[in-house]
Amino acid sequence: MTRDSQRAKVYAAEEFVRTLFDRAAEHGDPVVDFFGTRLTLPPEARFASVPAVQRYVGQVLSQPAVRRRWPDAGPLRVRPRSGATAAHYERVDNEATIAVPEGRTVWALRELVVLHEIGHHLTNSDPPHGHAFVATFCKLAATVMGPEVAYVLRVVYAKEGVR
């Protein structure tokens, strides 16, 4: 496996994007000034449980636009990840799984984090956070949440030096 050299940059960029969404939600105003551009952010789904995440993953993977773009994407199971502070994607043999923490780690039970993990499923690239993953995640975010989200991700990735 190739060294995942831009993992920290990808995570930093995505934390910035999640904070942007959080601040917009806190202020009750989806319109943000983003590096000189006024954007209206879409609402971001939040989940209360692993079964809710599983339903969302199934809905995303069954969208016609997602199926057309990634026709070889197989099923993706969601399971709880206890005692962990991060979501995680894993593939063992032919079974793909997203593990999400429940309970006190509610930040992982949100749409941007789940889409990140689905992006791993659709890419299955080496390194895990390389160019192929970043491109896939941006396309997935545009398809599912809207082009504004992909634009924000691309700009913040570039600001962080993600390629």
How confident is the prediction along the chain (163 residues), in pLDDT tens digits per residue?
Answer: 689 999 999 999 999 999 999 999 999 999 999 999 999 999 999 999 999 999 999 999 999 999 999 999 999 999 998 766 789 999 998 899 999 988 766 678 999 999 999 999 999 889 999 999 999 999 999 999 999 999 999 999 999 999 8
**What is the C-alpha separation between 144 and 139, in angstroms, rounded?**
9
Sign for the CA dihedral angle at 26, 30, 33, 34 comes to positive
pLDDT at 7: 95
**What is the C-alpha separation between 52 and 108, in angstroms, rounded?**
13
Q: Which residues pair with 95 in a beta bridge?
A: 92
pLDDT at 61: 98
